[in-house]
Amino acid sequence: MQSGTGTRPVPPRQPPATEATMSRFSEAARDIASDFLAAVGASLYFLAFFAAIHAALDKLSY
C-alpha cells in the first residue's frame, strides 16, 4: 500500500458534442423555445390555481 495516494480530482465535465457544434441560431432558437414553454407552463399553473380558488369560493357561497 502506498502512502500519500488519494483519490484523483474529477476532471470538469465536458458539454455534449451536440452543444459544441450547435450554431448560434439554433442555440438561440432552443433558448427561446425553452422560455416559451416555461411561460406556457406558468400560465397553465396560475390558471389552474385561480380555477381552484374560484371553485372553492363557489362552494362556500351555497
pLDDT in tens, the chain (62 residues): 555 566 777 777 766 665 566 789 999 999 999 999 999 999 999 999 999 999 999 999 87
Please report the pLDDT score of residue 19 as a whole number.
55
CA distance readout (Å), 45 to 33, 48, 51, 55, 59: 18, 5, 10, 15, 21
DSSP state of 4: T
Written in H, E and C, the secondary structure of 16-33 is: CHHHHCCCHHHHHHHHHH
- pLDDT reported for residue 49: 98
pLDDT for the residue numbered 2 = 56
Q: What is the pLDDT of residue 18?
A: 58
